[in-house]
Every structure is written in C-alpha cells, then in structure tokens.
Amino acid sequence: MTKYITHSIEYITSGKLKMADLINNDYQLLSVLYRLGIKMGLSDASVKEICERHGINIASFMLICNTYIFEGYTPSEELLQMGDPKDILTYLHNSHLYYFQKELTDIERYIDQLVAPCDSTRKKIILNFFGEYKQEVGNHFAYEEEIVFPYVRGITSSGDNKEYRIGKFEESHSNIDEKLNDLRNILMKYLPSECDSLLAIKVLSHLYRLERDIMKHTLIENNILIPLVNRLEQNDD
C-alpha cells in the first residue's frame, strides 16, 4: 500500500531518528539524499550515523530537510551556528545539475511532443517561452556556480576574500520559479483540445514539482546559505 505524506514528526532536531523512518514520513526527501550523495541501503541506521558515514554535517542535513518538507520553516540560530556551508553548496550544486541534466531536459522533450498538433503560432509562443525560461535559469545558476559558490568556498577555507560579499547575492537574488506558473497557465488555458491529454497532465505535473523544488531551493539559499556566510564574514571583519 502506498504511504502518503503525513508529516507525523515535528521539525527534525535530533539525529536519533532512523533515516528510513524519516524517508517513510516524507518520500520527497529522497531527492535530498540523492543530492547529498547518500545512497540506498540505509538499514536501521540513524540520521546521525548516515550523516557521519557520508561526511555530512548533521545540522546542515537537518536544516535542508526541515526547509524541504515543512512550509514556513524558519531555521533556529542554534542550528544555523552548527551548520556547514560546504554541505549546503553540495546540495545546491547537485540540484543545479539535476534541474538541467534531468528535469528541464525531460520537460522540454515532453513539451515538444505536446505542442506538435498546435498551429505554428501557438507552438512558437509556447516553445519560445520555455526556451527563454531555460536561458534565464541557466544564467541564474551560472552566476551562482561561477561567482557565489567559489566565494563561499574561499571564505570557508581561508576567510580572506574582501572583493565580494554575500550581500551582493542577496540583493540581486531573483525568484526563478515564477515563470513556471505562467507557463502552466498558458498550457492549461490555451492548449488546443487535440493535444494529448495524458501528456499534458505529465507536463503539468512536472512543472508543479519543479516549481515547488526550485522554491525550496531558493529558501535554502536565502534562509540557510546566506545567514551562514554572513556569520563567516562578520567573524572575518
């Protein structure tokens, strides 16, 4: 029998919980494990034991999981003080790879198939809209990978980079999930009836999941990475 999300646990504040029980409580955390390099074969090991086995800071793991599964979660100062920016970067970097190498590629292929019966004008509008969104996401991620992440790695290891501050990232940080809502609405409202309904449902489901995932991705950057780096900068001044 399929187990649906019930959120029978409170915020994750201890490493004593068995990792398998945590995943059973919310299967969406499987993507968190994947992006942190944690493979299956969890046995009855606790969250603490699995994190130690993979060299992951347990506070960082709990911060990411709590943000991912609980709406409105605000990290505590105590947990933030124990977190490690390096694990947050690992998660964010692997999320970028997943979005581009898997999710956006799949969605693009499905949309190409979906709009095949459309007239040329409607087809062009939809394909161009998605293409522009993909380019915007690529530019957003490129800035993080080429500017922000190297800065965080540098200040974490040496603390001597004065040319950049995380505040610049915070000021210019844009939400890249909003256009997905626009694309969903275009498909739901203006897709002609001759298009494959099951394929349309598949595309829309992917877009809903991607929008939620990117929204959580942004929260992890804003509510975890930026405060962690702000603290390092203050210690460096």
Q: What is the pLDDT of residues 44-70, one digit of tens each?
A: 999 999 999 999 999 999 999 999 988
Residue type, 142: A
Per-residue pLDDT reduced to its tens digit, 104-161? 999 999 999 999 998 888 899 999 999 999 999 999 999 999 999 999 998 887 665 6
Residue type, 125: I
Contact 114, 108 (CB under 8 A): no
Residue 18 phi, psi dihedral angles, 5° rounding: -70, 135
Name the more confident of 14 and 119. Answer: 119
CA distances from 57 to 50, 54, 184 (A): 10, 9, 37
- How many of the other CB atoms lie within 10 Å of CB of 157? 10
SS3 of residue 73 by DSSP = coil
